[in-house]
Amino acid sequence: LLEQGPIVRSKFPFLGNVWMVSSHAAVNEMLKDRKRFVRDPASLGKGQRGYFPFWMPRSLRVMASGMILRDEPDHRRLRILVEQAFARRSLEQMQPRIEEMADELIQEMREKHRRTGQSVDLMAEYAQRFPIAVIAELLGLPEADRSRFGNWAEKFAIEPGLIGFLKLVPSLGKIEKYLRGQIQLCRDAPRPGLLTELVQAESDGQRLTEDELVAMAVLLLFAGFLTTTHLIGNGMLELFRHRDQQERLLGDDSLMESAINEILRYTSPVQFTKPMRAAEAMNYYGAELEKGDVLMAVLAAANVDPTVFVNPDRFDITRKPNPHIAFGAGIHVCLGMKLAKLEARVSFQKLWSELKNLELAITPEDVQWSKQKGVRRPQALPIQF
Ligand code: HEM
């Protein structure tokens, strides 16, 4: 894409004609320019349809009330509420419990390995389960329900085309029903966690509608889960591939922050953001856009733009500066980036130090990649130790 230019006409399942925006400058500028680009088609003006027309399943329309698909001022109203709830707890406070959850899963992997004598799949046994455990606890959802989220999330592996897209609806319906139930339980008997805080914020000042509350809960659950799974899986694979750098990292904790940033840049766990729309006709980086044109911000391309990153295809845990945009940019910039980095830090430290003689049980070239659109992660990572 980068070789073809900063903005390229293409086709996209379900969306039809789109512009793929790939250079670091063009992606960054588009995500930050609230005047010329919008998220919600309804923001294009009077008579414009919203994200999903009225004949689409209700669960999809409910999700469209989530802040990730909204523009100002609604986006701001919603984001402030979660930001406040996040700000009430510090990562330092959460860290011991997060470490405990990592320890529990590592212990289970150890036992499974000992019992079966077989390799263990790091993706299924750790990278998927750890972020669910963290986000479920943050939201205050019952521990017994965790495995259900994993099953639903699998269904989110969107296949191309309308049929693939519609296959997603039943799972979405189940998630919605489950979270509506949990919200009601939090109303009846407040319990620790973000969900109760959001419910209380709703009843205090009528600042969230019921659908917005459900959409927020779904967004937090899924934005905070699969993305971090991908970061942990991709990171472990790159560290297996670059053993010299892995050994350096284990011996020098001060490299952890730059190593995580490099994993984010090099693997872009979220390959592109939700689509944007041109709010007016314009010439953008040489492309003649019409009002309403759909644009995709390809973070994975921007993160290897050679005009910004020296030797972009080289993995280098000491890379500085590293202005990657793996967490997006502008008003929708990731809300959970600090938490995601903490989860990655705890995982890399613990997995390499607790599992002695940790090895990948297959060659890195044999790793199968997830077919899921828009994300990059190994389907499985068999390990032995
Ligand atoms: C938004 C990436 C982890 C919550 C985003 C966006 C990206 C992103 C690229 C912008 C999407 C867009 O503009 O369409 C990632 C990556 C993660 C991660 C790579 C892990 C490695 C998390 C975690 C949480 C979270 C742990 C929650 C605790 C959110 C939310 C938004 C968001 C709520 C929407 C923000 C808004 O619309 O204002 N994330 N994320 N993310 N992320 Fe993350």
For residue 371, what pLDDT is reported? Answer: 79
Answer with the residue of higher pLDDT: 150 or 237.
237
Q: Are 231 and 264 in contact (CB under 8 A)?
A: yes
Q: Give φ, ψ of 121 to 5 degrees.
A: -85, 110
Determine the pLDDT at residue 156: 62
d(CA 287, CA 19): 9
- Give residue limits of the domains in the chain: 7-384
Best CA proximity match to 225, nearest among 109, 120, 127, 118: 127
Atom of ligand 1 nearest to the CA of 86: 28
pLDDT value for 204: 56
| CA–centroid distance, residue 223 to ligand 1 (Å) | 5
In whole angstroms, give the CA distance from residue 355 to residue 358. 6
Has residue 188 got a pLDDT over 90? Answer: yes
CB 373 within 8 A of CB 158: yes
- Strands 16-21 and 294-297, by their bridges, are parallel
Instruction: Report CA(274)–ligand 1 centroid distance (Å).
Output: 11
Kindly give the distance from the C-alpha atom of residue 113 to the centroid of ligand 1, in angstroms, as a whole number.
Answer: 33
Residue 19 C-alpha from the chain's centroid: 22
Overall average pLDDT of the 211-216 stretch: 90
Nearest C-alpha neighbor of 241 from the set 214, 262, 272, 271: 262
ipTM of the complex: 0.97
Whether residue 155 is predicted with pLDDT greater than 70 in this model: the reply is no
363/189 Cα distance (integer angstroms):
51
Residue 380: CB partners within 8 Å, gap ≥ 6?
A: 121, 123, 124, 367, 368
Region 292-298: mean pLDDT is 97
Residues having CB within 6 Å of any atom of ligand 1: 67-68, 79, 135, 219-220, 223-224, 227-228, 231, 269-270, 273-274, 299, 326-328, 332, 334-336, 339-340
Q: Tell how far CA 153 is from the center of its chain.
A: 12
Could you tell me the distance, in angstroms and rounded to a whole number, from the CA of residue 154 to the centre of ligand 1? 18
Encode pLDDT of 238-260 as tens digits. Answer: 999 999 999 999 999 999 999 99
Distance CA 230, CA 123 (A): 9
Q: Which of 89, 101, 139, 227 maximizes ligand 1 atoms within 8 Å of its Cβ, making it the mutation to test the pocket? A: 227
Q: What is the mean pLDDT of residues 136-140?
A: 93
Out of 42-46, 122-126, 199-203, 363-367, pick the least confident: 199-203
Q: What is the chain's mean pLDDT, rounded?
A: 91
Report the residue count for the chain.
385
**Residue 212 identity (one-letter amino acid):** E
Closest CA to 360 of 246, 267, 250, 237: 237
CB neighbourhood size of 102 (10 A): 21
- CA gap 97, 137 in Å, rounded: 10
Q: Whose CA is nearest to atom 32 of ligand 1?
A: 334
pLDDT at position 216, please? 92
Conformational region of residue 16, where left means phi above 0, alpha means psi within -120 to 50, and beta covers everything else: left
Under CATH, which architecture does the 7-384 domain have?
Answer: Orthogonal Bundle (1.10)
Handedness of CA 172, 226, 275, 237 (dihedral sign): negative
Is residue 205 over pLDDT 80? no
- What is the token pair recorded at 66? 């989530």
Closest atom of ligand 1 relative to the 225 alpha carbon: 26
- Give me ligand 1 centre to Cα 333, in Å: 7
Higher-confidence residue: 53 or 39?
39
Coil, strand or helix: which one is 301? helix
